[in-house]
Amino acid sequence: MTDVTATTNRTMRHAMDSDEARARVRKRYRAEARFKAYGIGAIAFAAAFP
Task: Give the domain ranges of the chain.
Answer: 19-48
Distance CA 45, CA 50 (A): 9
Q: What are the CB-based long-range contacts (under 8 Å, 24+) for 24-32?
A: none
Q: From first to last of its 50 residues, what are the pLDDT tens digits of the chain?
A: 677 776 655 555 666 689 999 999 999 999 999 999 999 999 999 999 87
Residue 9 is predicted with a pLDDT of 58
Residue 7 is predicted with a pLDDT of 63
